Amino acid sequence: MQVRSTLSRMTPYVAGERRTDAIKLSSNENPLGPSPAALEAVRRALDESHIYPDGALRGLRTAIAGHMGTEPEMIIPGNGSDEVLTMIAGTYLNPGERVLIGEHTFSQYAFAARLLDAEIERVPMPELRLTPEAILRAVAARRDPPRAIFICTPNNPTGIAFTRAELRHVLDNVSERTLVVVDHAYQEYATSPEVADATAMVNRYPNLIVLRTFSKIYGLAANRIGYGVATAERIAELERVRLPFNVNGLGQAAAIGALGDDGFVVRSLETNRRGDERMRALLAELGYQPLPSEANFLCFPVGGDARAAAEIIASHGATVRALGSFGLPGHLRVTIGTDQQIDVLERGLRALAAQIPPDARSDHGARTGAANSGVTAGSQQ
């Protein structure tokens, strides 16, 4: 059967590697597991498995809005924030319309845009940073404003975040007809006071939609719950494409339970802070230079082929992410783990440094292939 022509340009999602004989530090999950309060809520919800869940998602929206100090009408939950992305594409993108996406970022923006046959333009990221200047240059390169701009902050896979001033600079200088989608999947981990909080800006910018998730800080990746935050008008538009019962009952219960568990968030942040410190010290000792991450992972060049590097580390008991599919074939991304997990990782990193000596150069921009080209209509995920 002939499939739609756009599908031939789409490549399947590359997930972080999972092995039965290794700990998983390849998908930026919460190393503490799920929030115990969320688990308890899921156990209770299991008894109602024969009844359709709340299709209007009233309880979940109210809980999220209460937590954030906003209105339930400004929230749209999804089956992971991934689903909210495809809802955004299905609501706003017409075939051929231009969308701007950073050169090295999460693959699902391109997936959602391609699904709707939009035209993808990659914004260059010299020194692996997406800057307002590069975005605005790409915007101005054509007479018609782009339909949408996707900004991941803190960015997966670099961990680098937009400052408040940078995000405002973009929002103040693009057309109101251009949708700005800010993905805050890792926002809770950010520690610098300068880091942009887009959620606080949605009332001021009606063209802004912010994505959040329960998959990271709340440890609920398998339950698939994320949400969008925007003005009530945008949310009502997105509602038109939302499937009935898009968030399952266990996911709804888990998320509501997790929102009441502030202690778990505090413990998760403390684990991340300690792990970040230890992993940075270890990487520095071995000669690696991680980027300045505001997230729960570190990204660094290995001085050789990252796939071979990941294999060496996996053979010592930890899977990590080689970043070829992000256009960075010489970089690894490693989730910040617990102390015991970092013990395992340390063995792998020491073996790696012995077999493939770290790149002595400090030039994070040094890399190969399409990653160095200018604004392109590339196909990389």
Ligand X SMILES: Cc1ncc(COP(=O)(O)O)c(C=O)c1O
Q: Cβ(78)–Cβ(247) under 8 Å?
A: yes
Closest CA to 321 of 142, 313, 267, 225: 313
Query: Considering the complex, what minimum distance in angstroms separates the CB of residue 5 from ligand X?
Result: 27
Identify the residue among 37, 60, 82, 259 touching ligand X (CB under 6 A): 82
Instruction: Select the span of 62-70, 80-88, 125-133, 300-308 touching ligand X (CB under 6 A).
Output: 80-88
Nearest 5°: phi and psi at 45? -70, -25
Strand order in the sheet with 331-335: 297-301, 331-335, 321-322
Minimum CB distance to ligand X smaller for 84 or for 170: 84
SS3 of 137-204: the string is HHHHCCCCCCCEEEEECCCCCCCCCCEHHHHHHHHHHCCCCCEEEEECCCHHHCCCCCECCHHHHCCC
What is the rounded distance in angstroms from the CA atom of residue 15 to the CA atom of residue 82? 13
Which of 223, 183, 226 lies closest to 42 in space, CA to CA? 223
- Confirm or reject binding of residue 156 to ligand X (CB under 6 A): yes
Please report how close the Cβ of residue 181 comes to ligand X at its closest, in angstroms: 11
Residue whose CB is less far from ligand X, 78 or 146: 78
- To the nearest whole angstrom, how small is the minimum distance from the Cβ of residue 211 to ligand X? 7
Q: Return the number of the residue (227 or 353) whose C-beta is nearest ligand X.
A: 227
Q: How far is the CB of 106 from ligand X (least distance, A)?
A: 4
Determine phi and psi for 249, rounding to 5 degrees.
-60, -40
| Structure tokens given for 105 | 């970022």
Check residue 81 for interaction with ligand X (CB under 6 A): yes
132 lies in the site for ligand X, by CB under 6 A = no
Which residue's beta carbon is nearest to the bound ligand X? 80
Smallest gap from Cβ 100 to ligand X, in A, equals: 16
Question: Closer CB to ligand X, residue 207 or residue 335?
Answer: 335
Q: Which is nearer to ligand X, 61 or 358 (CB)?
A: 61
Q: How far is the CB of 160 from ligand X (least distance, A)?
A: 12
The minimum distance between CB 310 and ligand X, in angstroms, equals: 17
SS3 of 280-335: the string is HHHHHHHCCCCCCCCCCEEEEECCCCHHHHHHHHHHCCEECEECHHHCCCCEEEEE
Amino acid at 237: E
Each residue 160-199 as x (binds ligand X by CB under 6 A) or -, in order, gives -----------------------x-x--------------
Q: Per rule CB under 6 A, is residue 152 in the interface with ligand X? A: yes
Q: Which of residues 339-378 bind ligand X (CB under 6 A)?
A: none
Per the DSSP assignment, residues forming a β-bridge with 180 are 149, 208
Q: 107 vs 101, 103, 244, 264, 378, CA distance in Å? A: 10, 10, 26, 29, 12
Peptide bond into 154 cis (omega under 30): yes
Q: Measured from the CB atom, is 185 or 208 closer to ligand X?
A: 185
Indicate the residue among 170 and 185 with the shorter CB distance to ligand X: 185
Print the binding letters for residues 93-112 with ligand X: x by CB under 6 A, - otherwise.
-------------x------
Site residues (CB under 6 A) for ligand X, limited to 312-331: none
- What is the per-residue binding string for ligand X in 205-234, x denoting contact by CB under 6 A? --------x-x-----x----x--------
Q: Which residue ranges make up the site for ligand X (CB under 6 A)?
A: 28, 80-82, 106, 152, 156, 183, 185, 213, 215, 221, 226
